[in-house]
Amino acid sequence: MLRLVLRRLWQGAISILGASVIIFVISRLSGDPVVMLVPPDAPPSMIAEIRAQYGLDQPLVWQYLLFLGHALSGDFGNSYRWQMPALQLILDRLPATIQLAACGLLFSVALAVPIGVLSAVHRGGWIDRIGRVFAMLGQAMPAFWVGLLLILVFAVQLNWLPAFGHGTPAHVVLPAIALGWYPVAAQTRIVRSAMLDVLDSDHIRLSRALGTPERLIVWKYALRNAAVPLLTMLGVYFAAMLGGAFVVETIFAWPGVGRTVVEAVFSRDFPVVQAGVLFTSILFVLSNLLVDLSYGLVDPRIRDVR
Amino acid sequence: MVLQVENLHTHLHLKRGILRAVDGVSLSVGEGETLGLVGESGSGKTLTGLSLLRLLPKGSGRIVEGSIRLDGQELTTLPEAAMAQTIRGRRIAMIMQDPMTSLNPVFSIGDQVSNPLRNHNIAQGAALRSKVVEVLTQVRIPSAEKRLGDYPHQFSGGQRQRIVAAMAIGCTPRLLVADEPTTALDVTIQVQIIALLRQIQADTGTGIILITHDLGVAASLCHRIAVMYAGRIVETGPVRRIYKSPSHPYTQALLAAIPRLGEKRSRLQAIPGQPPSLIDPPTGCRFAPRCPARMEKCAEQPPIVQLADGHEAACWKLA
Amino acid sequence: MKSWTIGLAAASLAALPLAPVHAQPSGTLTVGLAAEATIMDPTRSSAGVDQYFFGQMFEQLLRTDPELKQVNWLAESWALSEEGGKPVITVKIRPGVTFHNGDPVTSADFQYGMQRQQDPKLSRFSHLLNAVESFEIIDTLSFRLRFKEGDGSFITSNLHLWAMPKRHIERVGEEEFQRNPVGTGPWKFVSRTVKEELRLEAYEGYWNRQHRPGVKNLVVKIIPEDLTRVAAYKTGAIDWIDAVPPASAAEFSKLENTSTVTAVTGNNLFLNFATHLPNSPFNDVRVRRAAAHAVDMDAIIKRVLFDQGERYTQVGRGTPGHDPELKPYPFDPRRARALLAEAGHPRGFEVPCYNLTTPREPNIKEMGEAVYAYLSAVGIRCQIRQLEYGAWINLGRRDAPPEMDGVVSWMWSHGLPGDPGTPWLGHMHSYQAGRGLGSYSYTDNPEMDALLRQQQTTMDPAKREELLKQIARIKHDQVLGGLPTYRPMVTIAWRTSKVAFKPWPGPGFWRNFQEIGLK
């Protein structure tokens, strides 16, 4: 187990390093951040001065080495726009981001598992057909549209929930639904096909032959077998939601990391982009690691494999 | 009589037609008796076994006629809920062919063995645990107490089949349906499993229906044999008599096809032809198209002829 | 319900005191803005959007009032004179003005502020104070600014200087001051959560008893998504909304219990042509005039901008240099085609047309596409290239690739009422590398250059006005330095029964809460 963790962390560190190099180069190729930080009539001397201040006049390799050196001690430099530490800008948004991603994932699982299981159990029945349409709708409706629709119905018309912002549990409901809506389709399909596989297996038939109530067969004995492929998918989605919920965050004015990083990209705020990408890479690595470890929890056969 | 089956007809409703898989089967199993249900693939023997438990494919399988009585109680008219609660796993239990896939890989054996015990209210709590250990010890799983938290993949094939047996006998069923329990195991383990089944029968007096295509296995365990062909029983009798004096041409051909040690034969003796389609089966004797002793009369359904004590066969030649 | 449109010439709103002169206002008002400041210190800011925040807390010597007239503010009086051939401005500070921490405002504070504004390490606008030679303190409440040479836009920029609390900043340090700003404005800083909200409290010791807030607490929520902001207003989460999306403006004017105001913002949009490239067809003035006749700007304003735009000809109403005699080129596609033919392009020509997609003004992408469609219709066939803000800025700059090789939709704010001087130096004066002139310009006209430099050093307002008008006429006639399209308007709305609001311009914007209160 320990070896697995260490190996994954090592592989992860390499991926993160690679990502940071790529982003470093690409962002600096995308344009000049300094002209966006000064008024249009700024004299060239000021532009040159600021460029020197930010070390943007140095050779690229040297810039990267400096960045890496500072990054290893936790210093990602100051945001060009906000004039506060870039890392702090990201980390301050972390609790809200985690809250939204967790709730979004919870919502998608809460829908996908029952629909997927019932679709498999009553294969070809009306639940299966409705489930398939529902899943297709999920994939056809983009998050921003779902978000605006939710606001229109539940906030404006019915006034049940707040339209934007962050603070109370009520605030997270609509954004979580908007965020978790799209993955429901894919997750439902995975659950359904995994369940169909399992329900066909010998051990389930034996269980039935020994008089196990159907309810127990489906929800305990079959479902746990279907969990492994679902877990893989959840891990990927969770990481994606943590770093990339930009659209939902903008619509609901949710103070999350996704928005921060995308806005930083638009304003060529390199330190924040760098810190944001690093943060997201770390999340992906950790998320994959967690999923790997959780396989062991769910499927005991994996525990004893190297 | 523990089990009495009379004129059982089980049909499978497929897209291409109605498959008459079990077409008028009658058999019986007494206390402490093992009946071998022998035949080739597709003869309907597995489906007969499944019919006893009413575990037919949802929607397509149906018992259309006949009676199944367990200790006198009619099972064909029992509601589904009663079947699950009082019959399956409680009074009739099943052991399946492949021990590698019969156990749920993500649950401990302790959980899986205690499951039927719990569902049928045999024991609860601490008593449940000791009952599980007891039954695992009964099937010769060493250090059962310590291994309750272990998972199926931590056991060998033979041990897994024993665990399945433990799940089956936990509630001391009246009848055990063993569907090819040794087919997926190597020969040395086969012997152990057969010994185990014999042991169980000696200890509990349970009846056993052993479904198999392996005549050797049938010979070593069964008291009586019923030979099945194309959905029908063609010959029934005590095991010795069947092997010594097989009377139905199909039984004879089956036994003749087994190669013997020391025999010099360049070719295996097979039965020419194919079993008939059960969607539109021929009237009359179903073996007739392949039978070396075919007569004109065989176009008519042959009667069941009593040959000796408990030995009968359905053939015009014997009438 | 009621809806007023404030044109710049409308004098209907006199500067009447709206807020009852309470000793202590109370209550809380929640408002919604579309964007937020990144820096709350006027001497360190570089983006216009920062004014949304610091404009509530800091003040200058002069100010623009709701009628867009320049009025004395922290300066009780001031005078322009000359000494030894060089301009001098003498300022008397209004007595009784205090900072939020209670410190009185003195000349030293303005000197300190000016030093910050002149320090290129702190300020991005230090070049605007290049002409100031020295700051001379006369006494606690008066000082003199000595100029090396004339600075034409110094006066129209409200004398540039902000009141900065010298003793306070020296005591608490730069970092603390950035976190908790202290100024003289009607609102005191309470707290700020990045990307969420700003909380302000009405400053009890505020000097202006006539124009001040009528509510104690102001919560400013940041809601970037248009429809969400509208939803927030409709659900009552906010009672005052900034930047009603143009498509919803009509709906808002009819909403129950809602008052709206639509006003011109300080931004000026125009098309610019690649006249710096020797073989560009736009080097021929007839082609430029053809472009001017080709676009039906009124129709675009009406349909694409939902009437949230105002036409202007070189200089907008109220801004120095505005000439009511100058009228925009009339929409005349036949004339446009004739001019093109005359200039040797009977079949028209292909040209790359660069369009800004980032909505720094509402519907700017659609507006650009509409304009280019009109150009294409007369033969200036546009191959539209869409650019987001960063790439667009990079394109416009003369000192670095890529090269702008066709038509570009551009903007340069004159302010409110503002001044065209600095913008024209930037996009009409010839490009002089290293001197900060013509950084975004494709024009090279020596006569124009001379006039522009002359207005730059003319401080006498009347003389300067004449110069600006002269420049505007030439610019208009020759279609130099770009073709003006429109000035965007913004619609603000609030709940009539609950909110008393009088729009005051911040420097260039209307998101100013000088006079807002609960009824």
pLDDT digits (tens, 9 = 90+) for C155-197: 999 999 999 999 999 999 999 999 999 999 999 999 999 999 9
Q: What is the pLDDT of residue A44?
A: 86
Q: Which of B271-280, B290-299, C252-261 has the highest mean pLDDT?
A: C252-261
- The minimal CB distance from B153 to the residues A213, A225, A301 is found for A301
In terms of Cβ atoms closer than 10 Å to its own Cβ (0-12, 13-18, 19+), residue C121 is exposed
Angle among Cα B157, B159, B161 to the nearest 5 degrees reads: 70
The H-assigned helical ranges of chain B are 45-53, 80-82, 99-102, 109-119, 125-138, 157-169, 187-204, 215-221, 239-244, 249-257
Residues of B in Cβ contact (< 8 Å) with A216: 119
Average pLDDT rounded to a whole number, residues C414-437 = 91
Distance of alpha carbon C433 from alpha carbon A256, whole angstroms = 42
Contact assignment for A210 to B94 by CB distance below 8 Å: yes
- Using one digit for the tens of pLDDT, what is the confidence trace for B8-33? 999 999 888 888 899 899 999 999 99
Nearest to C310 by CA among C9, C51, C70: C9
Cα three-residue angle C329-C335-C337, rounded to 5 degrees: 120
pLDDT band, very low/low/confident/very high, at C298 (cuts 50, 70, 90): very high
Q: Is residue A33 part of a domain?
A: no
| C349 in the same domain as C223 | no
B37 pLDDT tier (thresholds 50, 70, 90): very high
Contact C222, C52 (CB under 8 A): no
> 3-class SS at C213?
coil
DSSP state, B316?
Answer: G
Same domain, C65 and C20: no
The fraction of chain C above a pLDDT of 90, given in percent, is: 85
Residue C16: pLDDT over 70: no
Residue with tokens 């085609």: C337
Task: With CA atoms as reference, report the closest residue to B165 among B94, B214, B222.
Answer: B94
Regarding whether C195 and C94 lie in a shared domain, the answer is no
Selecting from C228, C235, C439 the residue whose C-beta is nearest the C-beta of A252 gives C228
Q: Structural domain of residue C305, as residue ranges?
A: 269-489
β-partners of residue C62 are: C72
Return the minimum-mean-pLDDT range out of A235-249, B115-129, B229-243, C476-490: A235-249
Rounded to an integer, what distance in angstroms lies between the CA atom of residue B34 and that of residue B21? 23
Dig out the tokens for B290 from the structure.
């392949």
What is the chain C residue with the closest CA to A144?
A: C225
| One domain for residues C464 and C407 | yes
CB pairs under 8 A between A and B: 79
Residue C402: cis peptide before it, omega within 30 degrees of 0: yes
Whether the per-residue pLDDT at C22 is higher than 60: the answer is no
Query: Would C196 be classed as within a structural domain?
Result: yes
Find how far residue A241's CA is from the centre of its chain. Answer: 2
Q: Would you call A299 and B106 a contact, using CB atoms and an 8 Å cutoff?
A: yes
pLDDT of A306 above 50: no
C-interface mutation test, from A32, A34, A156, A164, most C Cβ less than 10 A away:
A164
- State whether residue C440 sits within 8 Å of chain A by CB: yes
Question: Which residues in chain A are contacts of C121 at CB distance < 8 A?
Answer: 49, 53
Q: What is the pLDDT of residues C391-400, one digit of tens each?
A: 999 999 998 8
pLDDT digits (tens, 9 = 90+) for C132-156: 999 999 999 999 999 999 998 899 9
Residue carrying the six token digits 């207003």: C233
Any idea which residue has 């981001």 for tokens?
A: A97
Contact check, Cβ <8 Å, C227/A151: yes
**Three-state secondary structure call for residue C437:** strand
Same domain? C145 vs C36: no
Q: Which residue of A has its CA nearest to B87?
A: A211
Query: How many CB atoms neighbour CB A200 within 10 A?
Result: 11
Tokens of C108: 């030293």
Sign of CA dihedral A147, A148, A153, A156: positive
Strands C217-222 and C197-202: antiparallel
Chain A touched by C44 (CB under 8 Å): yes
Tokens of A77: 């430099």
- Looking at the structure of chain C, the number of domains it has is 3
Q: How far is CA A78 from CA A268, B16, C74, in A?
A: 13, 74, 35
Mean pLDDT to the nearest integer, B131-155? 92
pLDDT at C6 over 80: no
Residue C507's pLDDT is what?
Answer: 64
Nearest CB partner across the interface for A206, out of B85, B96, B108: B96
Spell out a b/e string for B228-266, using b for 16 or more CB atoms within 10 Å of the CB, else e. Answer: bbbbbbbbbbbbebbeeebbbbbbbbbeeeeeeeeeeee
Tell me, what CATH number does C211's domain have?
Answer: 3.40.190.10
Q: How far apart are CA B69 and CA B75, in angstroms?
A: 6
Beta strands in C301-450 (DSSP E): 309-310, 349-356, 380-387, 407-411
Q: In which band, very low, low, confident or very high, does the pLDDT at C19 lie, cut at 50, 70 and 90?
A: very low
Mutate to test the interface with A, among B104, B111, B167, B176 (most CBs of A within 10 A): B104
pLDDT of the residue at C277: 95
Do C298 and C411 share a domain, yes or no?
yes
Q: Mean pLDDT over residues A1-7, rounded?
A: 81
- Domain hosting A212: range is 87-305
Same domain, C302 and C280: yes
- Residues B255 and B174: their CA atoms lie apart, in Å, by 31
Query: CB of C247 within 8 Å of any CB in chain A?
Result: no
Chain B contact for A95, CB < 8 A? no
- Checking if the pLDDT of C314 tops 80, the result is yes
Rounded to whole angstroms, the Cα distance separating C232 from C362 reads 19
Residues of C in contact with A260 (CB under 8 A): 195
Tokens of A222: 């079959």
Residues C215-265: tens digit of each pLDDT: 999 999 999 999 999 999 999 999 999 999 999 999 999 999 999 999 998
Mark whether C398 and C322 lie in a shared domain: yes
Identify the DSSP state of A12. H
In a domain, residue A233? The reply is yes
Quick one: pLDDT at residue C9? 35
Q: Within 13 Å, how many C-alpha atoms sit on residue B20's CB side?
A: 21
CATH number at residue A293: 1.10.3720.10
Rounded distance, CA B141 to CA B133, Å? Answer: 9
Question: Do C226 and C197 share a domain, yes or no?
Answer: yes
pLDDT of residue A293: 82
The DSSP annotation for C5-33 comes to E--TT---S-----S---SS---EEEEEE
pLDDT at C1: 39
| Type of residue found at B277 | S
Does residue C308 lie within any of the structural domains? yes
Residue B256 has pLDDT above 90, yes or no: no
Task: Test A164 with C221 for CB contact under 8 angstroms.
Answer: yes
Residues C309, C444, single domain; the answer is yes
This complex has an ipTM of 0.88
pLDDT score recorded for residue A302: 77
Q: C93 and C209 in one domain?
A: no
Contact status, residue C261 vs residue C503, Cβ threshold 8 Å: yes
> What are the pLDDT digits (tens) for C336-384?
999 999 999 999 999 999 999 999 999 999 999 999 999 999 999 999 9
Q: Same structural domain for residues C165 and C192?
A: no
* Beta-strand runs (E) in chain B: 3-14, 17-29, 34-38, 61-70, 73-74, 92-95, 175-179, 207-212, 224-229, 232-238, 304-308, 311-314
Report the pLDDT averaged over residues B249-263. 81
**% of chain A beyond a pLDDT of 90:** 41
Q: How far is CA A1 from the centre of its chain?
A: 26
**Alpha-carbon span B66 to A48, nearest angstrom:** 98
In a domain, C421, yes or no: yes
Confidence band of B187 (pLDDT split at 50, 70, 90): confident
Q: Residue B167: which of B103, B80, B255, B251 has the closest Cα?
A: B103
In a domain, C262, yes or no: no
Q: Do A251 and C178 touch (CB under 8 A)?
A: no
**What CATH number is attached to the domain comprising C94?**
3.90.76.10
In a domain, A47, yes or no: no
In whole angstroms, give the CA distance from residue C502 to residue C510. 10
Angle in degrees, CA A172, A178, A182, rounded to 5: 140
Tokens linked to C429 = 């004066």
pLDDT at B147: 92
What pLDDT was estimated at residue B295? 86
Between these two residues, A98 and C92, which has the higher pLDDT value? Answer: C92
Which chain A residues are closer than 8 Å to C222 by Cβ?
Answer: 253
Q: What is the pLDDT of residue C447?
A: 95
A294 CB within 8 Å of a chain B CB: no
The answer to whether the Cβ–Cβ distance between B107 and A224 falls below 8 Å is: yes
Q: Which two tokens stand for residue C393?
A: 């800025």
Domain total of chain A: 1
User: In this structure, what token pair is assigned to residue C199?
Assistant: 């909380």
pLDDT at position C508: 58
Report pLDDT for C445.
Answer: 95
**Residue-level pLDDT at C14:** 42
Instruction: Quickly state the pLDDT bin for A304 (edges 50, 70, 90).
Output: low
Q: Give B171 or C509, the one with higher predicted confidence.
A: B171
Contact between C168 and C101 (Cβ < 8 Å)? yes
Separation CA A21–CA B197 (nearest Å): 67
Cα–Cα distance list, C483 to A304, B51, C312, C346, C486 (Å): 75, 90, 10, 22, 10
Instruction: Give me C155's structure tokens.
Output: 């006066």
Q: Give the pLDDT score at C8.
A: 37
pLDDT at C103: 95
Whole-angstrom Cα distance, residue A20 to residue A26?
10
Q: What pLDDT digit, counting tens, does each position of A84-99 carry?
A: 899 999 999 988 998 9
Tokens of C179: 């976190």
Give the whole-angstrom CA distance, residue B14 versus residue B31: 37
Contact A211 B103 (CB under 8 A): no
B254 min Cα distance to partner chain A (Å)? 30
Nearest to B181 by CA among B164, B169, B166: B164
